[in-house]
């Protein structure tokens, strides 16, 4: 094991049950990434930011009342976040994300402001799918979680999806999950 693999193992060790064996562990691709959703978000963010900057510029240029100047500030800040900030927030989130597959569960540890752990029993996962890029990396969508249909405590809605995002060798990891489901 190299240094990063040891670090990943040490991050996950406290969340493993006694006797639980790690089958696979990994992290998402690091750095600034552009995904499919950005084909919508880039034009929207430019429109939002452009309008907010124009508003603020005109209000200042016309020496409008202070309330108009203050009114535009939150919209400018949101525009800055939409245009550039969201890429850095996503990068920071992925920097703190660790994935683990054991014989019983898929564990996702994430969060850059606070630590969050999600654990999904492999036998309860349904409709698992994946998308693969030319380089073999991709995202596994764990599908609808049957347990959430009956115990929806997260208030995000029934039928939400979770996934292992931007992982290398996505098909190999997908086959591990499917194999474990068949074994259970």
Task: List, for residues 62-119, the tens digit of each pLDDT value.
Answer: 999 999 999 999 999 999 999 999 999 888 888 889 999 999 999 998 887 788 888 8
Q: Give which of 180, 148, 141, 147 is closest to 162, Cα–Cα.
A: 141
List pLDDT tens digits, range 37-55.
788 999 999 999 999 999 9
9 pLDDT tier (thresholds 50, 70, 90): confident
The residues with which 120 forms a beta bridge, in sequence order, are 106
**pLDDT surpassing 70 at residue 148:** no
Check whether 124 has a pLDDT greater than 70. yes
pLDDT in tens, 125-135: 888 888 899 99
Q: Give the separation between CA 64 and CA 51, rounded to whole angstroms.
A: 17
Euclidean distance between CA atoms 179 and 184, whole angstroms: 9
Tell me the range of 21-25, 29-33, 77-81, 128-132 where mean pLDDT is highest.
77-81
The answer to whether the CB of 126 falls within 8 A of the CB of 143 is yes
Residue 117 has a pLDDT of: 87
Could you tell me the pLDDT band of residue 159, with boundaries at 50, 70 and 90? very low
Which CATH code is given to the segment(s) 3-28+98-183?
A: 2.30.29.30
What pLDDT is stored for residue 161 in this prediction? 53
Q: What confidence score (pLDDT) does residue 160 get?
A: 41
**Distance in angstroms (rounded) separating the CA atoms of residues 180 and 102:** 9
Q: Is the pLDDT of residue 144 over 60?
A: no
- For the chain, the average pLDDT equals 85
């Amino acid at each position: 094991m190299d240094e990063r693999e040891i670090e990943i193992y040490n991050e996950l060790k406290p969340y493993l049950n006694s006797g639980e064996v790690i089958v696979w562990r990994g992290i998402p691709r690091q750095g600034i990434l552009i995904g499919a959703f950005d084909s919508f978000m880039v034009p929207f963010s430019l429109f939002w930011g452009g309008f907010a900057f124009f508003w603020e510029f005109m209000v200042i240029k016309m020496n409008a009342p202070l309330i108009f100047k203050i009114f535009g500030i939150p919209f400018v800040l949101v525009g800055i976040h939409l245009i550039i900030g969201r890429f850095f927030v996503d990068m920071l989130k992925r920097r703190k994300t660790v994935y683990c597959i054991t014989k019983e569960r898929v564990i996702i540890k994430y969060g850059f402001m606070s630590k969050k752990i999600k654990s999904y029993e492999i036998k309860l996962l349904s409709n698992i799918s994946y998308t693969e890029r030319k380089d073999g990396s991709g995202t596994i969508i764990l599908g609808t979680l049957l347990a959430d249909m009956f115990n929806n405590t997260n208030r995000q809605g029934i039928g939400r999806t979770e996934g292992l995002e931007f992982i290398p060798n996505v098909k190999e990891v997908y086959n591990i999950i499917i194999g474990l489901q068949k074994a259970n």
